[in-house]
A and B are shown apart, each in its own frame.
Chain A
Amino acid sequence: MAKKTVWSDNRFWQRSAAWITGFASILLIWLTFDTIPQIKMGNDADLQNGVTKRVPGPTVINYKITYEMNTKRGHEIPVIGGMNAEGTSAFQEKEKFFGRDDWSQDEAMELLALGKLASQSKNCMNCHTLLGNGAYYAPDLTKAWLDPAWGPEGSMQSMTGKSTKEEAMAEFLQHPSQYPTHARMMPNLGITAAEAKGLVAFLKHMTSIDTNGFPRNFAKIQGAVHGK
């Protein structure tokens, strides 16, 4: 046998493995304690007081939301209630959601909770991606609320016979296979009117989450494909 060195000693490697694993785990737990408070959902008071949260409170549905390039951060960020001089949320401009822009914290939370629950019960994530995670059979829903197809220039409002984005979305979600735009259709999932309303709130709220600029250039480019 050659001279024994620490490098060929199993005990040494066993201890190293234990230390490294312990150290990495503690770091992850520590980072978790830092991250979770930062992604806790805000509340109505934050919005009223102009406090920016990575995950805003549910009453964000009372506001106009856009997705704008922020030169300081170098990518797009959700802008809530119009933009201020620094290029971030001004929390001023409201936008009616199903006819109201005064949803209370509790009412809005109830809608959002119903929508989140419906997203799981109906398994959206096994066709779509949410925040980019899930399945690849259908479009990413992270910023679906801002998709041009739902807007005044898009086709969905007239197709569903509705005059607002939220009503058009709710109608589509209840009877998706009645309003197909592609051969690959979304099936009827038995979504009720109440669930559809909740889902639209959930989608609008998701748009307000600060996703560090994903997706990039969302719907900003109308495409170079075939010179369109």
Chain B
Amino acid sequence: MANNYLTTESKKLATWYFTFAAIIFGAQLVFGLVAAFQYVMPGFLFEIVDFSVARMIHINALVVWMVFAMMGSVYWLLPDETGIETVGIGLGKLLFWVFAAAIVIVVLVYLLVQVGPADQTTIWFINEGREYLEAPRWADIGIVVVVLGFVYNLYATGMKGNRSGIVTVLMADMLAFAGIYLAGMGYTDNISIDQYWWWWVIHLWVEATWEVFVGSIAAYGLITMIGAHRKVVEMWLWIEVAMLFGSGILGIGHHYFWIGTPEYWWEIGALFSALEPLPLVAMFIHVLYDWGKQQGAQEAQGKEVSVIANKPAFTWFVLQALGNFLGAGVWGFFHTFPQVNLYTHGTQFTSAHGHLAFFGAYATILIGMFYIAVQGKHGIKVMHATKKSIWATSMIFGGVLGMTAALTMSGYVQVLVERAQMGASWSGYFDSQASVWFAQGMDWRLIMGIVTFLGFVILVTDLLSIGKATHHER
């Protein structure tokens, strides 16, 4: 940690969160590769690390690294936004260790114990067996405590310092984010009610509170990286909040078509979720518009240099705007009408959407925050890309696009063969899986997954070395 330019404790703490997030991101990809390999070679690690175990770690690591990086992002931007040191740094550090330790224990139990007997001790101590929310109950309670501590720090700082529009949005949003988690903690014998509340967490996180979160981060990035006008950016942010919550909250209905819930969710889900892409289009246009405007204004003054203060980070922010629009907006829209979803529900098509949406909307911008932190830590005024950052960005983004394309093809085959031709039976399912085109899709997903992973390795080396490169403006 020689020449650390960080002057606030809040930013130093943010780098802890970012570092841990990057490690878990790596773990996510490794277990994704294991699961993808099992599609191609089903005997791989059979009855050692079964698909269910690999997949559980893959998607839990996904959620956890993102939550860590989100907390890190807030600790990073708070001093800039509020003008003061964050309140409760000691608590923030303690929570970091508690959270990190809990995650390590949870993952070790997933990996070493895997499954338990059918009683409540399994739910409390091993896993809850509900996709994304597998974390056992003791960890659920720990997570709520950690997040509440984090929200307390955010509120205390926002109330003491200058409460900007961005901070106000984050305060409201993070409280909702924490509160919604509670909906997923209960146990019920009724699987329909179970899934009803389960979607409150999954959907209301990714299609409401997380979207608003990235809207705030994008706003911060536009102000700090290209000098966009705060008042305009914050106005856009409020409009985005209105559009995102206005469509996303009731858009939850697109998960209530087939789980036992009444038919009226067809109409409600279709209508509101079909509106969800609109704010994503708006956010995309907003980023490009502000960029063009700032650059144009500068060039009008005769200065022919880029306005971007952090090239790699800004690249990831632009890719976020694109990826969010494509993965969530376009791929989401594809299957959001009940007439379509009746056939695509729970196929590789869903997986295609899940990958591009989670990656496009969240992984991108959080990687961008990693680069912002590197810039700050090394006291760089204008940070340029390196060969490595360009390779990493292209391979990761290209890799995930490739995986999405492959999954979309396989999904298409699965929908036609299993659902349309064969009526969704056990043998129909395997007829689809055995189709050559399906199998090729699985091969390509694995290949593109390896590209993504190699890109990640380059990303890590770049994050560790780019700060020392000599071509930046200090």
Q: Which residues of A contact B (CB under 8 A)?
A: 8, 10, 13-14, 16-17, 20-21, 24-25, 27-28, 31-32, 34-36, 38-41, 54-55, 109, 112-127, 129-140, 143-144, 147-149, 177, 181-185, 187-190, 192, 195, 198, 202, 206, 209-225
Instruction: Flag if B131 contacts A134 (CB, 8 Å).
Output: yes
A residues within 8 A CB of B126?
A: 121
Shortest distance in angstroms between A74's beta carbon and chain B's nearest beta carbon? 10
Instruction: Flag if B238 contacts A120 (CB, 8 Å).
Output: no
Residue ID in chain B nearest A216 by CB atoms: B342
Check B302 for interface membership: any CB of A closer than 8 A: no
Residue ID in chain A nearest B249 by CB atoms: A24
Stretch from B3-11, B81-89, B364-372, B423-431 forming part of the interface with A:
B423-431
Shortest distance in angstroms between B196's beta carbon and chain A's nearest beta carbon? 7
Q: Would you give 6 A-B contacts (Cβ < 8 Å), ordered by A?
A: A14-B238, A116-B194, A117-B120, A212-B266, A216-B343, A216-B419
Q: How far is the CA of A37 from the CA of B170 in the complex (A)?
A: 34
B residues within 8 A CB of A117?
A: 118-120, 122-123
Instruction: Enumerate B242-267 residues with CB–CB distance to A below 8 Å.
Output: 242, 245-246, 249-250, 252, 255-263, 265-266
A residues within 8 A CB of B120?
A: 117
Q: How far is the CA of A177 from the CA of B242 in the complex (A)?
A: 52
Q: How far is the CA of A221 from the CA of B425 in the complex (A)?
A: 9
Residue ID in chain A nearest B424 by CB atoms: A215
A residues within 8 A CB of B422?
A: 221-223, 225
Question: Among the listed A10, A217, A222, which residue makes an inter-chain contact with B238, where contact means beta carbons less than 8 Å apart?
Answer: A10
A residues within 8 A CB of B242?
A: 13, 16-17, 20-21
B residues within 8 A CB of A133?
A: 131, 195, 198, 255, 259, 346
**A39 with B190: in contact, given A124-B129, A136-B346 (CB under 8 Å)?**
yes
Question: Among the listed A28, A123, A147, which residue makes an inter-chain contact with B425, where contact means beta carbons less than 8 Å apart?
Answer: A147
**A195 with B118: in contact, given A130-B191, A211-B258 (CB under 8 Å)?**
yes
A residues within 8 A CB of B424?
A: 140, 143, 215-219
Q: Which of A16, A31, A112 has the most CB of B within 10 A?
A: A31
Shortest distance in angstroms between A172's beta carbon and chain B's nearest beta carbon? 11
Instruction: Flag if B52 contacts A177 (CB, 8 Å).
Output: no
B residues within 8 A CB of A114?
A: 118
Residue ID in chain A nearest B118 by CB atoms: A118
Q: How far is the CA of A117 from the CA of B126 in the complex (A)?
A: 13
B residues within 8 A CB of A195?
A: 117-118
Instruction: Flag if A136 contacts B423 (CB, 8 Å).
Output: no
Q: How far is the CA of A139 from the CA of B424 in the complex (A)?
A: 8
Check B324 for interface membership: any CB of A closer than 8 A: no
Q: Which of B114, B130, B189 has the most CB of A within 10 A?
A: B189
Q: How far is the CA of A220 from the CA of B428 in the complex (A)?
A: 11
Instruction: Flag if B117 contacts A188 (CB, 8 Å).
Output: no
Shortest distance in angstroms between A33's beta carbon and chain B's nearest beta carbon? 12
**A35 with B52: in contact, given A10-B238, A21-B245, A55-B192 (CB under 8 Å)?**
no
Main secondary structure of the interface of B (DSSP, over half): helix
Question: Among the listed B115, B268, B426, B433, which residue makes an inter-chain contact with A144, where contact means beta carbons less than 8 Å apart?
Answer: B426
A residues within 8 A CB of B430?
A: 139, 181-182, 184
Instruction: Flag if B417 contacts A225 (CB, 8 Å).
Output: yes
Stretch from B43-51, B386-394, B397-405 forming part of the interface with A:
B43-51
Check B474 for interface membership: any CB of A closer than 8 A: no
Instruction: Flag if B263 contacts A212 (CB, 8 Å).
Output: yes
Instruction: Flag if B258 contacts A120 (CB, 8 Å).
Output: no
B residues within 8 A CB of A221?
A: 421-423, 428
Instruction: Flag if A25 contacts B249 (CB, 8 Å).
Output: yes
Residue ID in chain A nearest B59 by CB atoms: A126
With A36-B193, A121-B126, A130-B191 known, 19 other A-B pairs at CB within 8 A are: A10-B231, A16-B242, A17-B238, A20-B245, A21-B242, A36-B196, A39-B190, A39-B261, A54-B262, A116-B191, A126-B53, A126-B134, A132-B259, A139-B429, A144-B426, A149-B426, A177-B46, A187-B46, A189-B115
Residue ID in chain B nearest A148 by CB atoms: B425
Instruction: Flag if A188 contacts B47 (CB, 8 Å).
Output: yes
B residues within 8 A CB of A212?
A: 257-258, 263, 266
A residues within 8 A CB of B249?
A: 21, 24-25, 27-28
Q: How far is the CA of A136 from the CA of B35 in the complex (A)?
A: 11
Check B412 for interface membership: any CB of A closer than 8 A: no
Instruction: Flag if B52 contacts A132 (CB, 8 Å).
Output: no
Residue ID in chain B nearest A11 by CB atoms: B238
Q: How far is the CA of A117 from the CA of B120 in the complex (A)?
A: 8
Instruction: Flag if A54 contacts B260 (CB, 8 Å).
Output: yes
Instruction: Flag if B423 contacts A123 (CB, 8 Å).
Output: no
A residues within 8 A CB of B39?
A: 137, 184
Check B116 for interface membership: any CB of A closer than 8 A: yes
B residues within 8 A CB of A35?
A: 196, 256, 261-262, 265
**A213 with B241: in contact, given A121-B115, A225-B431 (CB under 8 Å)?**
no
Question: Among the listed A121, A209, A213, which residue makes an inter-chain contact with B117, where contact means beta carbons less than 8 Å apart?
Answer: A121
Check B462 for interface membership: any CB of A closer than 8 A: no
Instruction: Enumerate B418-470 residues with CB–CB distance to A below 8 Å.
Output: 419, 421-431, 433
Shortest distance in angstroms between B185's beta carbon and chain A's nearest beta carbon? 13
